[in-house]
Structure 1
Amino acid sequence: MKRTSRDIRRANRNELLRYVIAQSPVSRQELAAATGLSLATVANLVGELLERGVLVEVGFEDSDGGRPRGLVAMKADGGALIGVDVAETYIHVELFDLALRLLARAEEPLSASVNRPEQVVGHIASGVRTVLADAGVDAGLVFGVGVSMPGQVEREGGLSVFAPNWNWHEVPLRELLAEQLQFPIYLDNPLMACTVAELWFGAARGCDDVVVVNLGTGVGAGIAVAGSLYRGASNTAGEWGHTTLVLDGRACHCGAMGCVEAYVGSLGIINTLREVDPDSALLHADQTAAIDALAEALAKGEAAAVETVKRTARYLGVAVGNLVNLLNPQVIVLSSWVAARLGDALLTGMREAVAEHALPRPLEHTRIMLCPIATNPVSLGAATFALEGALAPSRS
């Protein structure tokens, strides 16, 4: 894809912001050295961000006998950002200041009977109002709301194109949200959101080639190439969960058979548990409760749980081995709630299976790890989309 001057400027600005957020306060000279941008480009970008009220001058540092260097930092109290993680079983809303520091969070449950568009929109709006009230933040300070939706999303049109677990098709989500929320709304999907979070704040900082494996009810792989998100032609790159793992295997929500998601998504793991022990007491009707019970039983060493996670890790390892061979990434991060619940046991077994199925040379250069971000990575990534969107020049 040809990059325009607008794309390059946005990428440069994001790189600069990532560094300022991590290292504040910093000088323009330090920013130029750290980002590889020219001092003139850095000065131009810093000037723009100072004018927008995103950065602030915070004093000077000595410069080995030369003129003191001016320092800049994020103007944390200059605004607020909201990130929303909409999953099949919950809506998680987080409020951040401009330095992406968490101010408040709220969560609202979803279920199989509460997933119509108007219901989901109502829960999102309720969560946004809750975090603003809890933090005592004036709505006028909000730069925007980033909303991560499961499935396929059209960012520009604000559409939920296809959410297979809810059977949504072409839902005008941004339009529906705008009826209840008077903020700019930036729509994307969790693969993009969690990958941005890792690039800005997590295991992928400083890396160019990255894969973030999102393990929840849905499954996918967020991809960054040369330090930037790889979106594909229609913003649907990363649907690795709907690649075939087992020929003529289990039915998947997408309509195909044998998909990765049908084996390593939460419902797939529950089906594996059912195969291991059809009468298991861990087989709760609610998938979140079932995975929680599985994790607790795993910690106690219960045989059915150990075998279920062992099989799941093997399925996951084969599929991740394909990613290693195909993309040759520097780091693969396991993210989202299923990975967090099953933790090191899943990671260890998966690494063993990857070693059996990936080619030695690409695997030698790939780190595989759990997401290190303490807060919700999808909400954090969605909030960065709101920051990027607020700083983007008008297309008019």
Structure 2
Amino acid sequence: MAGRNGRTVRDLRRGNRTEVLRRLYFDGPMSRFELGPATGLSSGSISNVVAELVADGLVEEAGSVDSDGGRPRTLLRVAPGSGHMIGVDVGETRVRVELFDLALTELARADRPLEHERYDVEVVVGHIRDGIAEVLATAGTAPEGLLGVGIGVPGIVAGTPDRGAVVHGQTIGWDGVPLESLLRATCRLPDSVPYFIDNGARTLGQAEMWFGAGRGAHSAVVVLIGSGIGACLVTEEAGNGRAVEWGHLTVRVRGRRCRCGALGCLEAYAGAEALLDRWREQGGRPPGDADEETALTALLTAARPPEGTEADPVALGVLEETAEYLGAGLSDLINLFQPERILIGGWAGLQLGSRFLPAVRRHAASYALRHPAERVSIGLGRLGPDAVTVGAAILPLADFFARGGRRAEPTGEGPSPAWRAALRQRTPR
């Protein structure tokens, strides 16, 4: 039965369960008495919802606290072992797979390096498949207990009715790769386990907004700087966040060629790969056969060496120019979206920001409009280089909470029910 606003009793129950789960998850442990004013639900509704969640094994007791003259109040929390999620980061140098419990405690991890075959679709899919099998075996977790597998990837992710999530990663040579259907055909997981595939910058933004430097902000832009560059816009209108291809903003007409093929993109000047290329072109000497992370560390050390050692002027010049490009790019985000906070993350962003953040802030303020620039704070993410993996795991967790703590329906493509087939036959074509 639907009410005046179109919501059914089932919708109301699911919404109440969602509200209690989220409140306990972010602010718990809490007592039933505290849950009432925190959620806006009546004491009777709280009792019913908590009883359901306890019966489902999602909520458990977590000690007690003294009350004012009455009996001690029992504290409640979300049961960490009541569900598991897998987060996957398809990064520049490796595929990382992590298994988490409901409290986002890491239970197992598997790293698969990407070397000469970087971004070969079959290799990446194989790494994800093997990594999932490894973390489940290491932790002794049954795949049936998974709430889902979240995957952060470079590029634009589009949902399709027949192939699931399809990845358009122009910079990595992925042109409409049906990643979800490839994983379903390859990974040995039950049909009941859903996949959540999204842009890596958005999964980073999800993590920082839930648990990191973005918590409590009404609007933020979370920037991911690695080999390339991306960003996630989080506002009330954008809901849980929207990936924006910030790295392919044009910062110089007829400038350097970007990995995407265009000229003058921000990524062609400020991404780690392009930054190292510019250092080499100007005479810099990164360590031989070093990966990007090691080479960037060498560049930063050359530009800002230990006290008593002379800085490499070429390295310093490249980094100072990069700080200006990043500041100019951030000014566009400030002018376009007027966010409350801008957070810089990603393995390269954290390395660069730890030494050049003041210069980046200064350049952002000089290029941006004064009014929004005075109201934004620019800082570093707090969750470290693993934030993309954590954010990917949050995708199935957020879906689970939105369903009121009920698992997703199986997605297997079995025969349609008779009533649906009959309805299709009667529908005019």
User: TM-score by structure 1 length?
Assistant: 0.86
Match status 1:128 vs 2:135: no
Asked whether the 8 Å contact 2:257–2:264 carries over to 1, the reply is yes
The answer on whether the counterparts of 1:332 and 1:368 sit within 8 Å (CA) in structure 2 is yes
Pair 1:44–1:125, CA change in 2 (3 A): farther
Match of 2:154 in 1: 150
- Please name the residue that 2:283 is paired with: 278
1:253 partner SS: coil
Change (3 A) 1:341 1:7: farther
* CA apart distance, 1:19: 4.7
Partner in structure 2 of residue 234 of structure 1: none
Matches within 5 A, 1:253-272: 253-272=259-278
Q: Are 1:155 and 1:187, in contact at CA under 8 Å, matched by a contact in 2?
A: no
Contact 1:309 1:345 in 2 (8 A): no
Superposition deviation, residue 14 in structure 1: 6.9
Residue 209 of structure 1 and its aligned partner are, at CA, apart by 0.3
Give 3-state SS (helix, strand or coil) of 2:261's partner: coil
Q: Does 1:168 align with 2:179?
A: no
Deviations 1:131-185 (A, max 9, x none): 2333343434322211111101124653333112221122111111122240432
Determine whether 1:100 maps to 2:108. no
1:49 CA displacement: 4.4
Give the Cα–Cα distance (whole angstroms) in 1 for the partners of residues 333 and 277 of structure 2.
Answer: 24
Q: Distance in 2 between matches of 1:11 and 1:260?
A: 42
Q: 2:293 aligns with which of 288, 292, 296?
A: 288
Distance 1:66 1:14, change over 3 A: same
The residue identity in structure 2 corresponding to 1:292 is T
Larger radius of gyration: 2
Question: 3-state DSSP class of the match of 2:92?
Answer: coil
Q: Segments of 4+ in structure 1 off by > 6 A?
A: 4-15, 40-45
Alignment RMSD (CA, Å): 3.2
In the alignment, the residues of structure 2 paired with residue 309 and residue 12 of structure 1 have an alpha-carbon distance, to the nearest angstrom, of 51
CA distance in 1, matches of 2:385, 2:65: 33
Alpha-carbon shift at residue 218 of structure 1 (Å): 2.4
Q: 1:158 to 1:338 in 2, by over 3 A?
A: farther
User: What residue in structure 1 maps to residue 239 of structure 2?
Assistant: 228
| 1:1-396 mapped onto 2 (5 Å cutoff) | 17=21, 19-31=23-35, 33=37, 37-39=40-42, 49-65=53-69, 69-155=73-159, 157-178=163-184, 179-182=186-189, 183-226=193-236, 228-231=239-242, 237-275=243-281, 277-282=282-287, 286-300=291-305, 301-374=311-384, 376-391=386-401, 392=403
- Unaligned runs of at least 5 residues, structure 2: 1-5, 306-310, 411-429
- The residue type equivalent to 1:84 in the other structure is V
Structure 1: how far apart are the matches of 2:40 and 2:81? 27
Structure 1, unaligned stretches of length 5 or more?
232-236
Structure 2 Cα separation of the partners of residues 43 and 82 of structure 1: 32
Q: Secondary structure at the match of 1:82?
A: strand
Quick check: 1:54–1:98 contact (8 Å CA) kept in 2?
A: no
* Number of equivalent positions: 387
Q: Which amino acid aligns with 1:296?
A: T
CA distance in 1, matches of 2:60, 2:109: 27
Q: Residues 90 and 152 of structure 2 are in contact (CA less than 8 Å); yes or no, is this contact kept in structure 1?
A: yes
Q: Which piece of structure 1 moves more, 64-73 or 42-51?
A: 42-51
Could you tell me whether the CA contact under 8 Å between 1:274 and 1:283 is conserved in 2?
Answer: no
Tell me if structure 1 keeps the 8 A contact 2:149–2:195. yes
Instruction: Provide the identity percentage.
Output: 39
Q: How has the CA–CA distance of structure 1 residues 390 and 322 changed in structure 2, closer, same or farther, with 3 Å as cutoff?
A: same
1:32: Cα distance to partner? 5.5
Deviation by residue 1:266-317 (Cα, 9 ceiling, x = unmatched): 1221233234x23534586743342232233344143332222211111000
Q: Deviations over 1:246-274 (max 9, x none)?
A: 11211122232111111111122123323
